[in-house]
Structure 1
Amino acid sequence: MLAGKRILLQNSRFLHNFGEPPIRRPNKAPPAASKDGPRINDDIRNAQIQLIDQTGDNKGVVETVVAIRMAQEVGMDLVEISPNTSPPVCKIMDYGKYKYSAQKKAAEARKRQKTVEIKEIKLRPMIDDHDYDVKMRAMQRFFEEGDKVKITLRYRGREMAHQEIGTKLLDKIKTDVAELAKVEQDARFEGRQVVMVLAPR
């Protein structure tokens, strides 16, 4: 009797599980990672494209495989430059140079958007040649990064009696950085020091 109840209980569990909808598990492969930049050569999907050759001439609608062969014959790539037209516009070009040029333009745009900082360089009128060269290299780096430079020339003790030495030093600095920077604020006294501000060209 007890064995019969166990069989009925097991059968009822089987029927209950059998009646439930099966658990579905996702079986989709992850989407392919999108490729940065325009499609080139065999990545171009359309069978036909509007072709512009390496000299800029519009060759009209051309089979994609033919256009790729034309690009290979001149040692270049077929680059999709306008994918949303029908058919898409492609151009024969050196993709390596094109990509480098695009990266350079992006870097220049970021440089223009950079917040300009004012870096301070402190000098003494009797600075030696080695220290002067170190300060000049620092200034050059600041100008190349797009920052301004505030030059502070400090006089101590009897040096105030020889201000012409400091004036000659500031004139030398202006000459040495003339290709990289221009004077934004000319030299002026602030107590026992002279301040001059240079800005990158």
Structure 2
Amino acid sequence: MRQDKRAAPKAPINENISAREVRLIGADGEQIGIVSIDEALRIAEEAKLDLVEISADAVPPVCRVMDYGKSIFEKKKQVAAAKKNQKQIQVKEIKFRPGTEEGDYQVKLRNLVRFLSDGDRAKVSLRFRGRVLRNLVRFLSDGDRAKVSLRFRGREMAHQELGMELLKRVEGDLLEYGSVEQHPKMEGRQLIMVIAPKKKK
């Protein structure tokens, strides 16, 4: 029988089990019944497996014949797989400037779509520099939230309605990929809107 070399096993196994008799479950899950600890250890040894206490609170304690090392390994694999499958939702930001050209708008829109498709939120800030829409589409497609912010400079503050019109256009262009989670609002000199991706069926 393999000896568990760890100083403090998570569950009492083999000779570390202190009960005089146990309710034994076989390696295939069959109920063997109440047996002495010596008999349970003998059965485990003949199967070349471990005797593991799985319910210490029961009277008598419940033990099972199993490959303890393999059981721990499988549990670790399951935990690792669960962590790998968890998607962390992020907020991706795309910045616009008033007067964004059509080409830049389309670039940012595509990035937003990518983010939302990946399950992330998108924050749209109206600042209007660079290739705006392609990035927005990309964010939404990746499932990210998109934050859209529109930054006003100098005299542009007097024309906030242009920013609202632009954000309304962005919202309309992204209906297929996401919905507005935070409606446009002013934060300092920026107009901000956050878009969340649509839930995948």
Q: TM-score, normalization: structure 1?
A: 0.48
Asked which structure has the greater CA Rg, the reply is 1
**Larger helix fraction of residues:** 1
TM-score normalized by the length of structure 2: 0.48
